[in-house]
Amino acid sequence: MSKDEQLLVQMQGISKSFSVTKALSNVNFELKAGEVHALMGENGAGKSTLMKILAGVHNPDEGKILVRGKEVRVEDPSAAKKLGIALIHQELSIVPNMTVAENLALGNESRTKWGTLDRKRIHDEALEKIARVRAPIDPSELMGNLSLGTQQILEIARAISMNAQILILDEPTAALSSFESKLLFELIAEISSAGAGLIYISHRMEEVWNLADRVTVFRDGQLVATSKKNELTPDQVIKQMIGRDVKDLYVRNNRILGDVVLKVENLGDGVNIGPINLEVRAGEVLGLYGLVGAGRTEITRLIFGADKIATGSIHISGNLVNFKSPRDAIVEGIAFVPEDRKIQGLFALMTLSDNIIIASLARFVRLGFLALRNIAKAVDTQFTNLSIRASSIEQIVGELSGGNQQKVLLARGLQTNPKVLILDEPTRGVDIGSKNEIYRIIDSLTKEGTAVLMVSSDLPEVLGMSDRILVIRDGVVVKELLVAEANEENVLLFSSGLASV
């Protein structure tokens, strides 16, 4: 057997239950040396549970694990570490108030002949480890001062330094900037070419297609299929994940459009945006599409009063409005779901209930006191209508999955009873199943007469959900298309400036 075909890991007949929930059922999985093996599936499909078993976080109820052909017992993370298995996930095992060098040396600190910490050697070794991942990081910097993405890169550096040959990356780019993601992808290629095996858990199809050699899909605790990447199309993977054709992913039922609710004329910021002219009718989804830097998000922020308008006007239901702040926009019937739910949207340490009602608290004040019973009733209604999966409305929102966090943001906007709903990247960072649920929510809102302005960098999403599409380039609208005349090719041509308007 060649090095490329050598099996590093074999997991056979793995089953695992948590209380009455069957998380995994008789799963068989293999990892070869030198390959990047992607795992895909909806939240709760079983992929992370299987990897936590491999990493010693959980023990299987049934089944066995072989590493390099030898059956092993991975009873805890320490045992996994000795076998050369490293799990890198979003809950990083770092000590924030220690330096980068000290974190990289944890558990394997160099010492002097007198038994004290050899700080110079620890610093020099850190420089070598950092150089391997080509990251511009000062070893003397406190770990807690670094971005989550940089911390994650350093976790990988630590794993490499400890000769880990089986690396598990669980949603590794969720906290990374574009620069850090590029750095990570280069690192993955280098590690796999050296003979290590990498397991890459992600719902981001583009990343999987660029990185993976093989793809394994999970659904409802079972392994559906393992295929070489060149034997599949993204649509086939989605069908395996959700159990139905990709054409059923988007929801756009027969929509009856009403009067113009939002009208924007000659809107601009005086610098990069404008003039912008657009209208959105009741019951309509107007999609905004453009390449990175085109100005999509900036346009929505101007409409919502988050940024100062230099030119132009906004009308809501025929009435001229002048927003000095987002609060003014909310009062006039505009709700905004921002692009980055973790930074711009959610209060991660607050409850689901608090996050939902925070933008509409004034509605629940009676004689100077909060009407707690009314708040609970309102939140329960949103909880049910949006099918938010949580233990209760008092669960901390940071504990929820990405899809359910996005639904909480939607619920906050809907709690203000908006006439216009602005969605900026409404399904970024959520799994396929949650995307479908969010699409159903959007479509149902149009039935109630809500006007939806949707910004997305996911072109199939824009084509699948919009009634009309405005193509943005260099801060202006360069083309308006009815969905019937739009396709990926012509939208991309207009957005890149390769097609004449």
Q: List, as one string, the DSSP characters of 225-254.
A: EEEEGGG--HHHHHHHHHSS-GGGTS----
Structural domain tally of the chain?
Answer: 3
Query: Are residues 358 and 300 both part of a single domain?
Result: no
**Pair (322, 358) in one structural domain:** no
Q: Whose CA is closest to 263, among 312, 323, 297?
A: 312
pLDDT the model gives residue 4? 46
For the chain, residues with pLDDT lower than 50 are: 1-4
Q: Assess whether 88 and 37 both reside in one domain.
A: yes
pLDDT, tens only, 79-116: 999 999 999 876 567 788 889 998 888 877 888 888 78
pLDDT of residue 1: 46
Clarify whether residues 134 and 223 are in a common domain: yes
pLDDT at 68: 94
Q: What is the pLDDT of residue 165?
A: 93
Return d(Cα 3, Cα 33) in angstroms, integer: 6
Burial 321-331 (b: 16+ CB within 10 A, else e): bebeebeebbe
> Does the residue 237 lie in any domain?
yes
What's the 3-state SS for 250-285? CCCCCCCCCCEEEEEEEEECCCCCCCEEEEEECCCE
CA distance 271 to 255: 37
Tokens standing for residue 361: 């608290």
**CB contact at 8 A, 306 and 326:** yes
**Based on the domain organization, do 203 and 300 belong to the same domain?**
no
DSSP H or E run through 353: helix 352-357
Same domain, 9 and 151: yes
Are 230 and 128 in the same domain?
Answer: yes
Per-residue pLDDT at 216 = 96
Q: Which range of residues forms the domain containing residue 305?
A: 249-333+420-426+449-501
Q: Is residue 284 part of a domain?
A: yes
Asked if the structure places residue 432 within a domain, the reply is no
Sign of the CA dihedral with 345 first, then 346, 347, and 348 last: negative
Tell me, yes or no, whether 69 and 161 share the same domain: yes
Residue 444 falls within a domain, yes or no? no
Q: Is the pTM of this model over 0.85?
A: no
Q: Are residues 457 and 328 in the same domain?
A: yes
The residue from 190, 215, 243 where one domain ends is: 243
Whether residue 469 contacts residue 481, with contact meaning beta carbons closer than 8 Å, is answered with yes
Q: What's the CATH code of the domain at 460?
A: 3.40.50.300
pLDDT, tens digit (0-9, with 9 covering 90-100), for 478-494: 999 999 999 988 998 99
Q: Is residue 274 part of a domain?
A: yes
| pLDDT in the model for residue 3 | 46
Of 465, 468, 450, the residue nearest 335 (C-alpha): 450
| Category of 221 on φ-ψ map: left (φ > 0), alpha (ψ -120 to 50) or beta | left
Q: Residue 440 domain-assigned?
A: no
Determine, yes or no, domain membership for 441: no
Q: What is the dihedral of CA 19, 21, 23, 25, to 10 degrees?
A: 100
Average pLDDT over the chain reads: 87
Same domain assignment for residues 113 and 221: yes
What's the confidence (pLDDT) of residue 63? 96
Is omega for the bond preceding 136 within 30 degrees of 0, making it cis? no
Question: Residue 355's pLDDT is what?
Answer: 84
Q: Does residue 228 sit in the same domain as residue 262?
A: no
Sequence letter at residue 332:
E
Please give the Cα distance from 143 to 151 (Å, whole number). 7
> Do both 170 and 270 map to the same domain?
no
Among 183, 210, 243, residue at a domain's last position: 243
- Angle between helix axes 119-132 and 148-161 (nearest 10 degrees) is 100
In a domain, 325, yes or no: yes
Q: Contact at 8 Å (CB) between 216 and 50?
A: no
Which of 192, 219, 243 lies at the terminal end of a domain, its last residue?
A: 243
Q: In this predicted structure, what is the pLDDT of residue 219?
A: 87
